[in-house]
Chain A
Amino acid sequence: MPSDPIIQVRGLTKSITNGAHTVEILRGVGFDVPKGQFIAIMGPSGSGKSTLLGLLAGLDSATAGSIVLDGEEITGLGEDELAMVRGRKIGFVFQSYQLIPTLTALENVLLPHELAGGGNGRPRALELLESVGLTGRRDHYPIQLSGGEQQRVALARAFMARPPILMADEPTGNLDSANGAHVLELLLALNRREGTTLVLVTHDAALAAQAGRILRLKDGVVVGDDLRA
């Protein structure tokens, strides 16, 4: 092992009770991710990928099991502590962009930095916008941007606070193939430049092929873990 794993997952279980029914979405998932790895999580729709990612990011709490992020145990943390962990350690890219509609592109990018209470973040935000080719659109509102452009803003936002881990949930799922390819290219380039650990959820085999490792999920359990070149 070159270094300590940055993500450690042990016996992760998530079940949801809805009335009399209990649905087990994740059933004992466990794996480690070393620092700097690009890992793709694949699986058919409904296999629990998004749920897993949500738990990794502390967006939801697990029913059982443990998650250690960058040496910090996050299971059992309170809402606000989780929020701080997210702010410091995780960047996020969603399938449906999730920009704040009332903020401009630049303001959206600045947001994580401002929430963390940093100093002047403008130079970095502008630089990131430039890397995603949107300098000219910085004062536009999300509604004035195309889907691909919105997702590029989201990319810039995800890297803004220099998180050690980046999580992406089907970031190209809502985009046509050309735009999807462009976004992915930018994502990988930024990831290399910033040296981030990338966890990418996708059901697109071509996309997953670029990853250093593929974790396969089915019905809430890990059914495959391929380390590549």
Chain B
Amino acid sequence: MHSTALKIAWREARASTAKFLFVILAVALGVGALTGVRGFSEAFRGMLTRDARKLMAADMTVRSFSLATGEQVKAMDALPNIRRTWITETVSMLSTPTASVPVLVSIKAVDPEVYPFYGEFKLEPPQRLVETLDAGAIAVSDDLLVRLDLKLGDSVRLGSADFRIAATVAVEPDRMAGSLNVGPRILMSRAGLDRTGLMVEGSRASHRYLFRFDAGAMGVEQARGKLKDAFPEAQIIDYRETHPLITRGLDRSTKFLSLVSLIALIVGALGVAMAMHSHLQQKLDSIAVMKSLGARSGQIIRIYTIQTLILGTLGGGAGIVVGIAVQRIFPQLIARYFHLDPGFHWDPLSAVQGLAVGVLTTLLFTIPPLLSIRRVKPSLILRREMEETRPGWRDRIRHGKAAMAATALILAGVLGIVWWLSESLRTGLYFVGGFTVSLLILAGIAVGLLWGLKRFSRSAQQRMPAVVRHGIANIHRPGNQAAALLVALGLGVMFTLTVYLVQKSMLAQIASSAPPGMPNVFLINITAKERDGVAALLAGHPGMQNRPEVVPLTAARIVKINGAPIGDRQLKGFSRRFTQTRSVSWARELPPQSNIVEGKFWDASTKGAAICLSEDAAKTLPSKPGDTIEWIASGKSISARVVCIYRSDSVRIGSNFDFLFNPGSLDGLPTLHFAAVRMQPGQIAPLQRAVFSRFPTVTVINGADVLAIIQEVVDQIALVIRFISFFAILAGAIILASSVAGTRFRRVREVVILKTLGATRRRIGGIFSVEFLILGLAAGLLGSLLATGFSLLVLKRLFQVDYSFDPVPHAIAIGLTALLANAAGWAASHRILQQKPLEALRGSL
């Protein structure tokens, strides 16, 4: 029996290829986006595992933000048959005699004799690292050459020393394992770094120790344990795991993009349902005939279910091909963010998964039209008008129940799919809930829009040209499913536009609405010796908009509070930062625009070490005046009494320390100073020059540069999201085309009648264009309305950012949607126009 159903289904589908082509395409887009994203993610993960050693240039690494102590070095020395090398990464200023402004660069200092343990470091022109890097020569990333108009062999000044550029960096195996990614990159030897004078006690830098296990070495697990004991705060990674930071980012983005793809897929599935509905509508006679020939409803449902399956499978299969294309494009999209090319590696599992999800979604959304087969009465073939009689209440309630059951099934199915894709029931529930609500709102507005359009065209009948009137009337053509179409297309527009609006508002927020007085230039790595000089330079520099502040910084970690270890407090998540090494400061007076909320600030009479806590720290730890906090800083123990809690209303960075000590209590610890100033943007470059010429090891960071980096990252992420959500729009357009193809018979008849009545092709074309244009405009309007609401919600709720309305993107979105709708509509109907009246009349008999 299955084979019979299959046979009939196949024969039937074969005769409707043109119509089904669109459906297949819509499914293909959804499945393609999904398999592309997941395939890429799998390929990436595969590469991370496969090349784990290369990606960190070692078997195991230890990363720490402070220099190894003598004990730590001893612990590392005590690992037999394990080789080791030390990498330091930091930022600094680089300049040349001709450069207008010093450039912020990332420095990586290595031992070229042994680095890297795995992978190959490639230089351009090709040469060996060990022969290139010496105390006076460096390799740079080529963007530096472009930015400062330099060439190989030129000399640059880094900190207080001059270096010759010996090569550019072509491939850096452990690039992603590094931490600092601002500005052009500089590779140098440790001797070179020492010459710069940048590294003083307390300098902010990341230190990585790379280990290579030789024959006879202890097990990886054992070594890891020993290193963990020696470096309790460090991050330790070995080749058996993928880099946790990269993996986490990859996981999150994969899950998110999978859901966006799923929306594209659901839009596609909606298209299949609509196509199936109109397909069955045209098949009412055939269904009635089959029933009169002895077919049971179940048999016929099976036939059309098989047809749906064929469509879903073909669409899914085509989707796998689209997915391969997506997977190929993907690395290019994120090239600037992830400095790795996972290479193309086809993941059959993702493809199968995508195919399964595609077929399943298609089937789910086709349940309602399939179930309606049961309602086709065989007596229909004896009498036409039966079709028109309205079903009684009892029937309608019964159908209502079936429809509700079908809806529940669809929602449960989608929930299952999201659960499977995201591995989280919560995400599934949120997705289904959000999707249902959006769909209801969309459908409500769509129905309202259509109703309004009908009313409007009726009341404005006489004043409208006939072509427009006819076009609007066409929208309400039976079987046109204008509402469903608006929902599908509107969904795509909403998603793409929302991404754009959120991205734009976030950047605008960061760029412009920073509170006045917020510093825009930061100076770091100022030594005690340089402190007064820098302060004087800042004070005398033109364009300052507030009083520059120079504050001392030293690193310290809380060990105990009132004798109890901090570890007992079970601080989770972001609060855990209080258990780690942090920057603390000291001050003689309460910072400006601050006030004491509890306790009393110190004065000259205060004895011993005292701390003033920020409100946040006091609440999180928690702690209050009278407590004793024990600290460890650079190996020294400090015990300090909490004397007050303060609140700062200032936006100045320098006045927002969580822990403020009294003068003298941190004496003898390695201390660097930090300055933050607010100044006229035009004066920043002269300041950078002035600071560099007198204090070359002080790093000056321009807030605008940081902003540019953030913007670049945000843009990159937005690009990826937009790329995927574009599939949803495309699926919507294809549905429009398929719906046009689905109403083909009616259109042909109409065209023929119009032609017999003397209408030119131009006129008929005009009528169709008006129809598509209005549908597109309405869908664009719908999507843009919802995007506004959605962006508002996301920005306010999620990011606490204000939304400022800008009509331009909305207008563009609406215009583009109208264009797209027209293109799709015409793609599906240009053939209809060519129809010769006689052929059609004969065919329609």
Contact = CB atoms under 8 A, between A and B. Distances in A.
B381 A115 contact: no
A60 interface: yes
Interface in B1-26: 1, 4, 7-8, 11-12, 14-16
A169 to B, nearest CB: 7
A18 B7 CA distance: 40
Contacts of B374: 79
A117 B382 contact: no
Contact of B1 (A59, A86, A102, A117): A117
A143 B843 contact: yes
A169 B382 contact: yes
A90 B381 CA distance: 16
B244 to A, nearest CB: 57
A100 B289 contact: yes
B8 A114 contact: yes
Interface in B794-808: none
Interface string A77-104: 0011001111110101010001111111
Contacts of A90: 294
B834 interface: no
A115 B290 contact: yes
Contacts of B11: 102-104, 107
Contacts of A54: 379, 382
A112 B8 CA distance: 11
Contact of B379 (A59, A80, A98): A59
A80 B296 contact: yes
A115 B287 CA distance: 12
Nearest to B3: A114
A53 interface: yes
Contact of B381 (A85, A94, A117): A94
A39 to B, nearest CB: 18
A17 to B, nearest CB: 8
A138 to B, nearest CB: 14
Contacts of A88: 294
B382 A102 contact: no
B12 A114 contact: no
A57 B292 contact: yes
A157 interface: yes
B224 interface: no
A161 B296 contact: no
A16 to B, nearest CB: 9
A131 interface: no
A115 B843 contact: no
A94 B384 CA distance: 13
Nearest to A102: B15
Nearest to A107: B11
Contact of B377 (A51, A60, A86, A116): A60
Nearest to B381: A98
B305 to A, nearest CB: 16
Nearest to A19: B390
Nearest to A99: B289
B294 A116 contact: yes
Contacts of B7: 114
Given A60-B377, A98-B381, A87 B843 contact: no
A84 B379 contact: no
A111 B292 CA distance: 11
Contacts of A51: 382
A161 B294 contact: yes
Nearest to A111: B293
A37 interface: no
A47 interface: no
Contacts of A99: 289
A111 B297 CA distance: 15
Contacts of B298: 80
Interface in A153-172: 157, 161, 169
A115 B4 contact: yes
B16 A102 contact: yes
A87 B294 contact: yes
B571 interface: no
A112 B383 CA distance: 22
A18 B385 CA distance: 12
A157 B842 CA distance: 23
A87 B297 CA distance: 13
Nearest to B374: A79
Nearest to A103: B11
B295 interface: yes
B286 A100 contact: yes
A50 interface: yes
A103 B12 contact: yes
B474 interface: no
Given A50-B383, A143-B843, A98 B285 contact: yes
Given A18-B389, A117-B1, A102 B294 contact: no
A103 B292 CA distance: 16
B378 interface: yes
B291 interface: yes
Interface string B265-305: 00000000000000000000110011111111111000000
Nearest to A55: B379
Contacts of B383: 50
A87 B293 contact: yes
Given A60-B377, A80-B298, A169-B382, A101 B286 contact: yes
17 contacts: A50-B382, A59-B292, A59-B381, A79-B297, A86-B294, A100-B12, A101-B286, A103-B11, A103-B12, A107-B11, A111-B293, A115-B293, A115-B294, A115-B299, A116-B294, A143-B842, A143-B843
Given A86-B291, A114-B4, 7 more contacts: A60-B379, A79-B296, A87-B295, A92-B292, A103-B8, A107-B11, A157-B293
List 5 A-B pairs, minimum CB-CB distance, nearest first.
Answer: A87-B294, A102-B15, A60-B379, A80-B296, A59-B378
Interface of A: 18, 50-51, 53-54, 57, 59-60, 79-80, 83-88, 90, 92, 94, 98-104, 107, 111-112, 114-117, 141, 143, 157, 161, 169
